[in-house]
Structure 1
Amino acid sequence: MYLLGLGIILLAMKYLEIGPPAQWSWWGVLSPFALAVAWWAWADWSGYTKRKAVERENARRQARIDKSREQLGLGTKKSGRR
């Protein structure tokens, strides 16, 4: 996401002819967009995106369980004890 933001800023600076990017070639200005596409392709291919989504889902589920247990007065579950 940072690469996309950087690309938009550089594109605006090039178009409005502000600062050093105004003198850069278009390849240099547009390269953050290509890097963002490469990152997203790698993240989807490697399973990074899915793994992070599962981690967020598990954390939310555990937070709901802990909150419910706390509201019932049971406290949090101790590891190793049943």
Structure 2
Amino acid sequence: MALVWLGVLGLVLKWLEIGPVAHWSWWAVLSPFGLAMVWWAVSDALGFTARARQKREDSRRELRRRNTVEALGRKTPLPRRR
């Protein structure tokens, strides 16, 4: 998220032509957005995000549930309660 805020700050400074950022190329100003996209892609792939962690926990929970049902000798799983 810090990269996005850095990109927004650079974009505003470039657009308003404030300070040394006014003389930077657009590639340098917009690069934090690209880096943020790369970071999010890598963190999703490696499981650093909450969504990926939740998927892993759900799959582990489902596996435990199936193992318990099998250990009880039932052929079909019990309906899930919510």
TM-score, length-scaled by structure 1: 0.60
Provide the residue aligned with 2:39 in structure 1.
39
Provide the residue aligned with 2:64 in structure 1.
none
- Tell me, yes or no, if structure 1 residue 10 matches structure 2 residue 10: yes
- CA positional deviation for 1:27: 0.2
- CA positional deviation for 1:53: 5.2
Structure 2 segments unaligned to the other structure (5+ residues): 55-82
Provide the residue aligned with 1:66 in structure 2.
none
Structure 1 segments unaligned to the other structure (5+ residues): 55-82
Which residues of 2 match residues 9-28 of structure 1 at below 5 A? 9-28=9-28
Please give the root-mean-square deviation of Cα atoms over the aligned residues, in Å: 1.8
> Partner amino acid for 1:37?
M
Matched length: 54
* 8 Å contact kept, 2:7–2:33: yes
- CA positional deviation for 1:50: 3.6
- CA positional deviation for 1:52: 8.2
SS at match of 2:49: helix
Instruction: Kindly report structure 1 stretches of 4+ aligned residues shifted beyond 6 Å.
Output: none
> Partner amino acid for 2:43?
A
Query: Distance in 2 between the 1:52 and 1:45 partners?
Result: 8
Percent identity, aligned pairs only, is 56
